[in-house]
Amino acid sequence: MRIIRPKKLKNGDVVMVVSPSQPISSARNFNRGVKTLNGLGFEVRLSKYVDAVFGMYEAGTAEQRNADLMQAFGDKKVKGIFMSGGGFLANKVLPLLDYDLIRKNPKMIMGFSDGTTLLNAIYAKTGLVTFHGFSIEHFFKRSTPYTVDSFSRIIQNNGTHFYPRSHWRILKPGRTSGRLLGGNLLSFVNLLGTSYSPDLTDSILFFEEHDDYSEDVENSLTRLINADIIGGKLVQGIIFGKFVNIAIGSNDPDTKQWKTPKGFTFYQILKRLFADYDIPILANVDFGLTSTPLTMPIGVEAIMDLTNHKERPYFKLTEPATR
């Protein structure tokens, strides 16, 4: 499949905000995010159904959400698309999208959380490089120069490097290369076995998760192992982002009386789960439900080098994500 890189965004470009998953939950935070996006030099437009609500937890019907996405891709004036937030049920939109229209009108699209569903499906169906980063409602609540710098470097200035804001942890050393794919773990795993799941051959997977239990995270990662995605010849490395509000334990009420064993931490779970796999693994990278997330492209070749603990960066693109 031919990889399509979107054009880099420039000051003055028109961008559109859409809501492909859950409805906007905080008008105040959403308006603040729109204001910040305007402050980055873009002319921000809101899609027709951006604040729609269908039922209880859908941002409009699947048809309305599809209409907004297709309008954004089809409008020649719109150069970039941003998702308002995350949630669930973006998968309802996947069969409705006009992938030929998207392929013929490639442009930057960025999302987070359930946006992973659309970002990977669009890449799988069209070859268009997409971006996992921030959403409008959930970030920009305070000054975020780290996030703005990463966004500007990757999407506006053809940059290829990623730099840590916090302490990135090497769980397994090594050096490899592959195509970056991933995003939110649960959303990504939900695509497995469908035509919307990208080809994982020679890939470097990156994952984040939030507001869940360690049992559920381990279950999703085990699904990847049992499908021979991890441990076979497909995945060359893994990058774990921030796992925010992940409680150690199970959501099953029958287990509440069980005590957490000493040393049973999230990182110990990851180390145990991947102990037998000879691939480099990096953790605690600055993306996910953090107030200052990196911009991570989907569909671009990257190099991981975890052989020297003092060497920076730990991973970088082999070519720009935009053109």
At 18, is the secondary structure helix, strand, or coil?
Answer: strand
Residue 145, number of CB atoms within 10 A of its CB? 10
Residue 260, number of CB atoms within 10 A of its CB? 11
Here the tokens at position 313 are 């960066």
Of the pLDDT bands very low, low, confident and very high (cuts 50, 70, 90), residue 101 is very high
pLDDT above 80 for 32: yes
Burial of 152 (0-12, 13-18, 19+ CB in 10 A): middle
Q: Which residues of 163-184 are buried (b: 16+ CB within 10 A; e: fewer)?
A: eebeebebbbebebebbbbbbb
pLDDT digit string, tens, across residues 103-118: 999 999 999 999 999 9
CA atoms within 13 A on the CB side of 20: 31
pLDDT digit string, tens, across residues 36-82: 999 999 999 999 999 999 999 999 999 999 999 999 999 999 999 99
pTM: 0.96
pLDDT above 90 for 140: no
pLDDT for residue 186: 97
What average pLDDT score do residues 154-173 get?
A: 96
pLDDT for residue 64: 98
Of the pLDDT bands very low, low, confident and very high (cuts 50, 70, 90), residue 139 is confident
At 290, is the secondary structure helix, strand, or coil?
Answer: coil
DSSP 274: T
Sign for the CA dihedral angle at 150, 154, 157, 161 comes to positive
Q: What angle do CA 205, 165, 29 make, to 5 degrees?
A: 85
Confirm if 243 and 209 have CB atoms less than 8 A apart.
yes
DSSP-assigned states of every residue in 132-181: E---TTTS-SS--HHHHHHHIIIIIS---B---SS--EEEE--EEEEEEE
Helix, strand, coil % over all residues of the chain, rounded to 5: 30, 25, 45
